[in-house]
Structure 1
Amino acid sequence: MNLREDANRHLDHPPARGQSFVYAAEQRLTKRLAEGAPRWIAPAHLSLIGAGGAALAAAALVGCDAWPELVWVVPPAMAVNWYGLTADLPLARSRGDESPGAGMAHHVAELFSHITLIIAYGFSPFLTLRAAAAVLVCYLLFSSYAYIRAATRHVQQMAYIGLGVTEFRILVAFWPFAAIALGVPESLHDHLPAIDVAVIGLALVAVLGLFGKLLKDGRSIAAASAAAASNQKK
């Protein structure tokens, strides 16, 4: 048994893909969508459609400052984003075309979508630029950690405490309506809007939780490596 195998045996791994609250139902739905996709649609086309949905939602969010009625464009645009970026990889798998290009198109489109949407919220009437910057920092930290885990422990954790990409899309789609109900647009001109306090506070808690998980994983890896070294000496 080599060091990597021994470490994997000792570590308590989560599932190969971290599961969100809607993961199981979403997988069944996207499988049906992939099976029903026309033959002329390629996985990369769906990735592009998903990115286009995000770009449309971002444009509507920014435009809401001048044309408030554009808020109704955000949910359907996010539905397009969801369809494109949840059906592209299942479509590739169903056709036996799990090429690096399909995976690259998906991840680039998803990264573009999330960053564009977060920045757009900073220029919308529903979030301040400070709050959007805090969300962006959290997103980049959690994404980086997910890629580190994928590279070092061969684990693709796509959700934390049950919250994953789809839950993020739902929040993006419906936060404008919640913000309007809470009076957020009227409060954005305050010296320290309540939304900034809430978002930045939650961001700090999330970052501290991430560092705690990082330390826990580091101790687990160190313990597994020490056990493997000890076994090799015997």
Structure 2
Amino acid sequence: MMPVSRELRDWYLSTLGVVQYRPRDTEPVALDLHLETVTEVANTVPPEVIVALPENPELPGAENELTDLQEEQIGSFRLACWQPSDDLLVINGLAPGSVPLQEESGLLANIIRAIGRLGDVLTSPQLIDWPPSTADQTDRSGAEEMLSVFVEARVKKQGVLWVLLMGELPSALLLPSRSVCSLSVGQMEELPGGARAIVTPSLQELLNTPELKSETWRAIRVMSHQP
């Protein structure tokens, strides 16, 4: 995944509601530019070194690169993100425009309670939509960067130590170095900042296939405060 530029990172954090504090920039340094000197040097370029380029040059492999870019596109989606405790972040994929069902929220509350991370109630999740309404970048790498910036902010600013990736979508976006085929329930990955991510089925999958619940429990019991 390409490094995130400071401008793009700041835009993602602003979109995700993360407050940024940055020290004031130093005073700008005035540069003494001599227009006459620049013009004089520019006019000394010999005419024989000026080469006319074709208007539409055909670059080798350009067609293949376009195909690769088209394959990197990703459709619209929504992520539901809960932080039921200081050290735990839960991310579950949703269809665009949808919200977690009551049954899904109830199941998640039971899961979090089982590992000793549930307070009085499970609060409403933060919903993250892709693509953001004003985003210029809508390909897969942009979605990966947005989720990475969001999780990194929670890890560094709020002390998150565990990230529960529920379902294929958040797992594939946050762990892009792993192919979807290699992702498995219970897989644990180190994240920047010292947190660890655990892959589990989505809430929808757990409701549709109850047999997955025992496998999920084996995956997350490492987070349990109980002996």
More helix by share: 1
Q: TM range, normalised to the smaller chain?
A: under 0.3
Indicate the structure (1 or 2) with the bigger Cα radius of gyration: 2
Greater RCO, CA 8 A, separation 6+: 1
TM-score, length basis structure 2: 0.28
TM-score, length basis structure 1: 0.27
